[in-house]
Amino acid sequence: MNTTAPFRKVATRKIYRRSALFLVACALAGFLSLAPRAAAAIQSQDTNIPSVVADFVQCRSKDGVLTVKVRLRNTSDKPVDFNLITNRNYDDFYVTAGSKKYYVLRDTERDPLAVGADGFGYVKVELAAGGVFTWWAK
């Protein structure tokens, strides 16, 4: 996984697109982190990916911008690989708070303010046994 590229994109297959950003944002933009001292989880959720748990470590609103950080953990003793974002489909994911939908923000060049995708539009997550991946988006 290219950790030097600026923020890129990620997706999973049928992980219930509408709730995926909430699960993989507040249960879903970009760097890999093997957090030396992991933040305490606000909430933990199972995912549609076997042996992967989503720990919501930050859901913060500041100046009308919601920032979400989710730590994906492999709870098995075997590696787990999956695509979190495919075809740069960031717009398929959002968080609902009350009656408002929060989509992943984009900069002036239309790049998502989230973990970045590779040149093919994927955010591939490769979790070693017991490994973690931190996903974030604004």
pLDDT tens figures, 43-99 = 788 889 999 998 888 888 888 788 888 899 999 999 999 998 999 999 888 888 788
Q: Is the dihedral angle over the CA atoms 127, 67, 14, 39 positive or is it negative?
A: positive
For tokens 């931190």, what's the residue?
134
- Do 82 and 125 touch, CB atoms closer than 8 A? yes
- Do 26 and 54 touch, CB atoms closer than 8 A? no
pLDDT tens figures, 61-74 = 888 788 888 899 99
pTM: predicted TM-score of the whole model, two decimal places:
0.65
Q: How far apart are CA 27 and CA 36, in angstroms?
A: 21
Residue 97 structure tokens: 């708070």
The amino acid sitting at 85 is: I
